Amino acid sequence: MAIYDSPSTTEYLMRPPRLLVIAGLFVASLHAASARLALVRTDPGAPCGLDAPQLESAMDWAFERGTTALVVARGGCIAAEGYATGLDPTQPEEIYSITKAVTAVLVGIALQEGVIDSLDQPLWRYFPEWEASPRDRVALRHLLTMTSGIVDPGSALRPGMDPVWYTRMMPLEAEPGARWRYNNWAFRLLFPVLSTAFGERLEEASRKRLFEPLGMYGTSWSAWPQTAGDPPLYIRSTARDVALLGRLLLAGGAWEGRALISPEFFQQAVAPSQALNPAYGLLFWLNREESGYTLVNGAQTSPGRLLPAAPPDLIAAFGARRHKLFVAPSQDLVIVRFGEAVDGLPEAGGPDSFDNQLYSRIAASLP
């Protein structure tokens, strides 16, 4: 079934209630207008070196629990992917806080190009009205580490507002660097910073520097409806495109033999960025610390690692509605999951028992 206009050698299995694809090469399509990857059939008995029955069992388990899209990639190839019945795998959807991972990568690109000098640059260089005010101590690094101290505008935002501009007007509630608090709006102050640094709209800068080089042709920025000026606020993408982003992270920020991301920045991004929440890097969630982690509300520290089933070098992005990106360099493994919230837990905030079980079941297919 030529579902994706892929080579005729591709093998597809239809298994209600989803489409399951086992074993295909993880390479970008040559057609720039396409949001597809070209999948080439490999040995279906051992997809990308993984155990096929175990992997299919993990996929079945995931789709019985609200999953709408799931991609598992290893060793440069897609070992398995599945989609809920009726969904178009080439149709982009909002990826929620996985947008933070994309933003971190763009900061790394800006550092590599030299258009941002340092993460310790004060934000007043971009927002002149902050100079000679309490906010003049806020640096780029504080936005990346969730320690800016800026008030989250939250429920004060209304349709038609420019939420980035509104956040820019917010006062401090804590000294920069003194408190870890997950802030969905403060990190978006990086958007105008990046636009200024690149000298063009964020949408164009992202397309030319990240989306097109990686073959993420189904990925783009979107704005809130009825927002003045249409500022970019979040990203729409496909599970396959997010898997390509995972592949970039798997390679330490290198793509086709060149460093796309500043290597120094990448090492900082995937290491604990502060002592307040050692499970947080630079807009990435980490799994390496046994000392515990703090989730969205910052009110409680949980013991142990984020995902006990995953290796300590796991790099993760968690989005609302249980949108997930897991990258494990030591296992050469990328997992992308889209879908609904499960286990009756809140829609956002980090890992849950579902995530740990999903990872455990997929990892059981490793050699």
Lowest mean pLDDT of 78-92, 305-319, 344-358, name the range. 344-358
Contact at 8 Å (CB) between 248 and 259? no
Indicate if the pLDDT at residue 37 is higher than 60: no
pLDDT of 289 above 80 = no
Domain encompassing residue 216:
93-285
Q: What does the alpha-carbon distance between residue 62 and residue 338 come to, in Å, rounded to a whole number?
A: 10
Strands (E), 123-266: 220-222, 234-237, 254-255, 258-259
Sequence-ordered strand ranges (E) for 18-117: 18-25, 27-28, 37-38, 67-74, 77-84, 93-94
In a domain, 291, yes or no: no
The closest of 316, 307, 332 to 283, measured between CA atoms, is 316
The answer to whether residue 184 scores a pLDDT higher than 70 is yes
**Statement: the pTM of the whole predicted model exceeds 0.75:** yes
Percent pLDDT > 90 in the chain is: 68
Domain membership of residue 40 (yes or no) is: no
334 touches 327 (CB < 8 A): yes
For range 28-56, the mean pLDDT: 56
318, part of any domain: no
Please indicate, yes or no, if residue 14 is contained in any of the structural domains. no
In this predicted structure, the answer to whether residue 103 has a pLDDT above a threshold of 70 is: yes
Determine, yes or no, domain membership for 56: no
* Euclidean distance between CA atoms 240 and 214, whole angstroms: 11
In whole angstroms, what is the distance from residue 28 CA to residue 72 CA? 16
Beta carbons within 10 angstroms of residue 81's beta carbon: 25
Phi, psi of 108 (to 5 degrees): -60, -35
d(CA 334, CA 96): 18
Considering 74-83, 137-146, 286-295, the range whose residues carry the highest mean pLDDT is 137-146
What's the count of helices (H) and strands (E) in the chain, helices before strands? 10, 17
Strands 220-222, 301-302: pairing is unpaired
Q: What is the mean pLDDT of the chain?
A: 85
Domain contains 154: yes
> Is residue 324 included in any domain, yes or no?
no
Longest pairwise C-alpha distance within the chain: 65
What CATH number is given to the structural domain containing 202? 3.40.710.10
pLDDT of 20 over the 80 cut: no
Residue 59 lies in a domain: no
Instruction: Compute CA distances 4 → 16, 80, 90, 249, 277, whole Å.
Output: 18, 15, 8, 26, 42
Q: Domain count of the chain? A: 1
